[in-house]
Structure 1
Amino acid sequence: MDRKPCSNSLAVKTSHVLPPDTNNHGTLFGGKLMAHIDDVAALAAIRHARLPVVTASTDSVDFLEPVKEGDSICVEAFVTWTHNTSMEVFVKAVTEDLLTGERSVCTTAFLTFVAVDDNGRPIPVPEVYPETEQEKQLHQFAPERAAQRKKRRQHAKELAKNFGTAYPWN
């Protein structure tokens, strides 16, 4: 399997923020932005692997600035790191006031996707390599994020086991 540069997986989506997309504060619903993020990140992962993928985790979604009604939201994603069957994807969302042209990074996120075969079983993906300084920085610290992700996933499994499916939990 040939290695691929991070840039090969770049996926971009721009949307106009309209009234149905906003909450009572006139800003974009966080869940709506998260749906854009998952969609564009999945496109980047598929573009890298050229295989079907499933979302394995969302490490973080950090909302840094509000996105107002009438603004545009541009979501960009690319694969930063791979490990056997999984791909870490970095996502950046930029909001733009379409009337003034003022732009700011409003959200960053890391998601992990796993490539799957026709039976939904994980399958290997090509390695990714960074080219730009920003890509190199993200790639360098990816193993640390992966270790944190693994630890957090184990904790989540313990919570699921302890709380089970019944309510109340005792």
Structure 2
Amino acid sequence: MEDFKTVAASQTTLTELMIPAYSNFGGKIHGGIIMGLMDKVAYACAAKHAGAYCVTASVDTIDFLAPVEVGELVSLMASVNYVGKTSLVIGIKVISENVTTQHVKHTNTSYLTMVAMDEHRNTLPVPGLILQTDEEVRRFYQAYHRKELKKYYKTEEKRMKSVYEIAESEELLKNERCIIQRKS
């Protein structure tokens, strides 16, 4: 294993034609199809960087910004944005292109955390990352902050479960779209 690799060394693009079998009843491409392609390109990018088998540990929020139509080419561009000891955060930008009109739209961006594994399913250390551009530094910095926010949210989730107050929660929920009807 090399000690450090550049971002460019493992950047990966996957392009696929969206066929009718991928569509939902509304004629748009299923979000699950896009999510599956994201997982595939994240694996390829992470495995190239790690030089090892990688598994998906988590997926950050996936916000679909624009629908994908049957007949469009979808391209998923993946790069390593951050590395820890055994994990990598892969940033993925998804665009779709109407090949007839050449109209290109950004459909979503997401971040997948991948973990390098050996043949016995033990975690493996991954190479560090050589950051060569301001953009790469920004992405690494933002990924670091997302990681810290995840830690904070996990801690807050545990705290909320341990100090749950019925009266306080009912007060907060009274302006929400719910009705509390307890069964006796």
Q: Same fold (TM over 0.5)?
A: yes
User: Per-residue CA shift, 1:140-167, capped at 9, x if unaligned?
Assistant: 1221111223345567899xxxxxxxxx
Which residue of structure 1 lines up, in the alignment, with residue 72 of structure 2? 71
Unaligned residue ranges in structure 1 (runs of 5+): 159-170
Whether the 8 Å contact between 1:40 and 1:75 is mirrored in structure 2 is yes
Question: Which consecutive segments of 4 or more residues in structure 1 shift more than 4 A?
Answer: 151-158
**CA RMSD of the aligned region, Å?**
1.9
Which residue of structure 2 lines up, in the alignment, with residue 40 of structure 1? 41
Q: SS where residue 9 of structure 1 aligns? A: coil
Between the aligned residues of both structures, percent identity stands at 31
Q: Distance in 2 between matches of 1:157 and 1:19?
A: 44
Whether the 8 Å contact between 1:82 and 1:88 is mirrored in structure 2 is yes
Closer, same or farther: CA 96–39 of 1 in aligned 2, 3 Å: same
Which residue of structure 2 lines up, in the alignment, with residue 134 of structure 1? 135
Unaligned residue ranges in structure 2 (runs of 5+): 160-184
Letter in 2 for 1:12: T
Q: SS where residue 62 of structure 1 aligns? A: coil
Which residue of structure 2 lines up, in the alignment, with residue 121 of structure 1? 122
Q: CA deviation at 1:16?
A: 0.7
Q: Distance in 1 between matches of 2:134 and 2:146?
A: 18
Q: Distance in 2 between matches of 1:28 and 1:100?
A: 19
Task: Tell me the TM-score normalized by structure 2.
Answer: 0.80
Closer, same or farther: CA 118–52 of 1 in aligned 2, 3 Å: same
Q: Distance in 2 between matches of 1:81 and 1:141?
A: 9
Which structure has the larger Rg?
A: 2
